[in-house]
Amino acid sequence: MISPKHVAIIMDGNGRWGLKKKNSRNYGHKQGLKAVEKIITAAIKNNTKYLTLFVFSTENWKRPIKEINYLFYLLSNYIDKKINNLIKKKIKIKIIGNIRQFPSNLKSKIKKVEKLTKFNSKIQINMALNYGSRQELISAINKLKKKSLIINELNINNNLYTKGIPDPEILIRTGNTNRISNFLTWQCIYSEIFFVKKMWPDFNEKDYEMIIKKFKKINRNFGGLND
């Protein structure tokens, strides 16, 4: 009956949701951001300590530039509007992924929000930006090579973007799609995976709570035997 410390979410289905509402894919992204706010609240309520959100994958550069720019605009606007609130609510923001290719003004905003929330302790939100598991693993191995460290589990863990963060007990994917899409494959080897039919903008606090409730009933063996 232990509450999960770390919940990771693949927030999928924004585009389809927007089109279904006879609007644009970007409209879906805008509404998706509202769901993000709801779920952060739900996570705090449920005592989640780390919430990892897949915002932009290393493969999402394949999308039309108009959509990519709109996602960057939403993120930039979100930081501007919410930074004080994040500080007030003691929320820590951490980026996982490689933001080197992001527009420079957005990069500085991201760095600023990370710096200003660094010592907050209510909850840590890991925002996966230009994140891909394979890219993360390659970068970790390169770091080991540079430091002349041997390749073992501990050294790899300590050189991933998620260094110091426990593995997610729960992985949620909305959007009625049952795949991992290059997200946290190293970290999720024993995560309980919940594929949700709802598109991300429709995912709400109750859905989150229901998953936590179901999780608490699962017997987790980690390769051992049931007790």
Number of residues in contact with ligand IPE, rule: CB under 6 A? Answer: 17
* List 46, 60, 98, 158, catalytic entry: 60
Q: Of 26-85, which residues contact ligand IPE (CB under 6 A)?
A: 54-57, 60, 71
φ/ψ region of 56 (left if φ > 0, alpha if ψ in -120 to 50, else beta) reads beta
Q: How many CA atoms lie within 13 A of 139 on its CB side?
A: 15
Contact between 53 and 125 under an 8 Å Cβ cutoff? The reply is yes
135 binds, among Mg ion, ligand IPE, none (CB under 5 to 8 A by kind): none
Q: Which residues, 149 to 178, sit near ligand IPE by CB under 6 A?
A: 175, 177
Smallest distance from ligand IPE to CB 54, Å: 4
105 assigned to active site: no
Q: DSSP for 163-182, please give it.
A: TTPPPPSEEEE-SS----TT
Whichever of 159 and 175 has its CB closer to ligand IPE, that residue is 175
Among residues 113, 128, 190, the alpha carbon closest in space to that of 160 is found at 128
Least CB distance to Mg ion at residue 175 (A): 6
Residue choice 179, 206, 216, 220 for contact with ligand IPE (CB under 6 A): 179
Whole-angstrom Cα distance, residue 204 to residue 78?
19
| Binding footprint of Mg ion on the chain (CB under 5 A) | 12
